Amino acid sequence: MLPAVLQNVGQLHDYATAVLNECGGTFEFKGPWFANMDMVFTCDPANIHHIMSKNFPNYPKGPEFKKMFDILGDGIFNSDSELWELHRKTTMSLMNHAKFHKVLERTVWDKIENGLLPVIDYLIQKGNEIDLQEIFQRFTFDSTCKLVLDYDPCSLSIDLPYIPCEKAFTDTAKALLHRHILPESLWKLEKWLGIAQEKKLAKAWEAFDQFIYPWIIS
């Protein structure tokens, strides 16, 4: 199975979609013995509801997950049991509030009208190639910052400015995938030496801190 994954590494999401479609929505991946790659993939809504909501206590993330995703701290994505339940209740209370829905709708539409559409129109007029993944990453980043911090970093503007914190999300995702694949001892060695993906993750972590810190103390 691993050779097929490596062969399709440039279109991994499309390949995973095709495999899941062929397997009825759930697939067990067995990696090589030396790597941390034995995984179960599913896109079945019933399975996701069973794991993430109905029977969540039966599927703890455990200390290994928290060690691997240390950049997430003790938030909802990295917690179990009572702490997760507390985070979930707090989050759901906010997201189910009518005022939040109004703010969310206003924020998203404002970014569509004043960010997304103008940028796409500009790129079309210039005849430039449009990287939709980058465009929607910037859209999500700006919208999230506006919702959480009431601040729009305007990463989605016609000059597509370089913003360290926005790029840090991509570097973090790659580094965490790297940790999933490598044995723990190997990625910890990379972290200790400050090389490879661990070096990028450290820089991404610093970028997050520098971006968020002024809002924490204000």
CA distance 56 to 50: 7
Residue 182 and residue 99 in one domain: yes
| Ranges 94-98, 101-105, 135-139, 150-154: which has the least confidence | 94-98
Contact 147, 105 (CB under 8 A): no
CA distance 148 to 121: 28
Please state whether 214 falls in left (phi above 0), alpha (psi between -120 and 50) or beta: alpha
Residue 102 and residue 48 in one domain: no
Residue 108 and residue 194 in one domain: yes
Residue 115 and residue 49 in one domain: no
DSSP structure class, residue 128 = -
CA distance 115 to 38: 41
Q: Is residue 155 part of a domain?
A: yes
Query: What is the domain count for the chain?
Result: 2
Q: Is residue 146 part of a domain?
A: yes
Q: Is residue 110 part of a domain?
A: yes
DSSP string, 146-188: HHHHS-----SSTT----HHHHHHHHHHHHHHHHHHS-HHHHH
Residue 104 and residue 207 in one domain: yes
CA distance 121 to 158: 9
Crossing angle of the two packed helices 164-181 and 132-149, in degrees rounded to 10: 110
Residue 158's pLDDT band (boundaries 50, 70, 90)?
very high
Residue 130 and residue 202 in one domain: yes
Contact 121, 90 (CB under 8 A): no
Of the candidates 168, 145, 175, 163, which has an alpha carbon nearest to the alpha carbon of residue 70?
Answer: 175
Mean pLDDT of 32-56: 86
- For residue 117, pLDDT over 90 is answered with yes
End-of-domain residue from the set 13, 32, 59: 59
- For residue 70, pLDDT over 90 is answered with yes
Q: Residue 31 has what pLDDT?
A: 78
Contact 146, 107 (CB under 8 A): yes
Residue 144 and residue 55 in one domain: no
Residue 195 and residue 116 in one domain: yes
Residue 104 and residue 211 in one domain: yes
Q: 88: which 2 tokens?
A: 């979930």
What residue numbers bound the domain in which 23 lies?
1-59
Residue 198's pLDDT band (boundaries 50, 70, 90)?
very high
DSSP structure class, residue 27 = E
More confident residue, 180 or 143: 143
DSSP structure class, residue 50 = I
Q: For the whole model, what pTM was predicted? A: 0.83
Q: Is residue 144 part of a domain?
A: yes
Residue 136 and residue 55 in one domain: no
Residue 2's pLDDT band (boundaries 50, 70, 90)?
low
The 10s digit of each residue's pLDDT in 3-33 is 777 687 778 889 999 999 999 999 998 877 7
Q: Is residue 84 part of a domain?
A: no
CA distance 200 to 159: 25
Q: Is residue 71 part of a domain?
A: no
Residue 55 and residue 99 in one domain: no
Contact 78, 65 (CB under 8 A): yes
- For residue 161, pLDDT over 90 is answered with yes
